[in-house]
Amino acid sequence: MTLSRRNFLRASAVAAVAGTMTRSAVFGANDRIAVCVIGLNGQGGSHIRDITEQNNAEVVALCDVDRRVLERRAAELEKATGKTPVLYRDVRDALADDSIDAVSIATPNHWHSLIAIWACQAGKDVYVEKPLSHNIWEGRQLVAAAEKHGTIVQHGTQSRSDNILIRDIKLMHDGFIGKIVHSRGYVYKNGNRHAIGHGAPGAPPEHLDWQLWQGPAQEAPYMINKDAAPPSGLHVHYNWHWFWEYGNGEIGNQGVHEMDIACWGHNRGLPVYVQSAGGRYAWDDDGETPNTQATAFRFEDGSLLTFEVRNLGSFHEADGGACGNSFFGETGYYVRGKGFFDYQNKPIPVDIPAPDGGGKFERFFTAMRTRNHEDNPAPPQAGHPSCVLCHAGNIAYRMGRSLEFDPTTETFKDAEANRLLKRSYRKGFEVPKMV
């Protein structure tokens, strides 16, 4: 069955059109997996480079709503490979291309789940940048879509492909430093975080399809950054991270990497209680998300996970740099990048070698070939809980109060907070209900 753009445009008809499709492609040893990279300005550029370096895959198509970015990346790819990629402005056209085996998604956050679900329905495997969702509800729909259609979906938090972390977190799960009672993650990014300026409505540049860029978000005017020289878009191409309509703040930007490690090591699933406080301090700008945020989660067994965001000041007092993780067990502790210690601060030697394994895309393409989900280091079933904690922390911050959370239903025991579990989707860009 060919999944056409017209099918995508039918209101609430995407699932009906593609609902019976499953992934059945089997790749031979010499077959090259054909990939379309979607979203090219920032992280998408590294996707193109990393995939091009693989021996058994190639980027055959590119998709972006900004024509200038699309043409620039196409020229770079052609120079590097000698091949001309197929170009798309509309992701629905790319997903209707039967020659594409997989997509990698590096769009703004508010597009992640919808494109990934559409790709699953189109029978394509998916590498989706972090966070895999813009809100808690749609993340659960992506998990269900991957399970229903049998697609390989890999979450782009990267660390689950790190051989040292794979070894060390297994040791923690096996009780190497006793029961983990407290996990800590932090992001102290300050070198490239700053006030973003103020915006005023204006005409979008002709090379940008502003309607498509907004996608599932509610329609809003394009904003010109009045404080930029020369004037530029306030949201496009990076500062959307700091607006609730499109991004998830620092905890859902760089923070989700460390949150994923924290959840992986803590190994408790979802919490029963969350509190978060902070603010957007010092900067006079239109950004909405906090540049300083402290969040705490309590789990059913009483264990604790804490997470800090700070985009102001020094990070030199931190455990291991600008971003990091620590785990505290009953008999010792672990600092990412430094190793295990007892409570006299003496190193605990580890004489078990780290396992062999490739990088994130090598593992992704291996899983595509074997169709063995155990070869996928970061499936949505693992990535979704990490995103839930980021989203739940932001909801508690926005509510200004502590919240009880039901890990079974993935809802709060607070009706007002539950309104932020899901967004209101623009017509034609609704995330389909899979659960």
Least confident stretch, 2-6, 86-90, 201-205: 2-6
Instruction: For each of the domains in the chain, give its residue range(s) and CATH number, in order of start.
Output: 5-160+361-379 (3.40.50.720)
- 215-232 per-position pLDDT tens digit: 999 999 999 999 998 889
Q: What is the pLDDT of residue 27?
A: 76
Task: Tell me the pLDDT tens digit for each residue of 338-363.
Answer: 999 999 999 999 999 999 989 999 99
Mean pLDDT of 142-147: 98
pLDDT at 24 over 60: no
Mean pLDDT over the full length of the chain: 93
pLDDT digits (tens, 9 = 90+) for 41-98: 989 999 999 999 999 999 999 999 999 999 999 999 999 999 999 999 999 999 999 9
3-state secondary structure the chain: CCCCHHHHHCCCCHHHHHCCCCCCCCCCCCCCEEEEEECCCCHHHHHHHHHHCCCCEEEEEEECCEHHHHHHHHHHHHHHHCCCCEEECCHHHHHCCCCCCEEEECCCHHHHHHHHHHHHHCCCEEEEECCCCCCHHHHHHHHHHHHHHCCCEEEECCHHHCHHHHHHHHHHHCCECECEEEEEEEECCCCCCCCCCCEEECCCCCCECHHHHHCCCCCCCCEEECCCCCCEECCCCCHHHHCCCCCCCHHHCCHHHHHHHHHHHHCCCCCCEEEEEEECCCCCCCCCCCCEEEEEEECCCCCEEEEEEECCCCCCCCCCCCEEEEEEECCEEEECCCEEEECCCCEECCCCCCCCCCCHHHHHHHHHHHCCHHHCCCCHHHHHHHHHHHHHHHHHHHHCCCEEEECCCCEECCHHHHCCCCCCCCCCCCCCCCC
pLDDT score of 398: 98
pLDDT at 1: 28
> Which pLDDT belongs to residue 401?
98
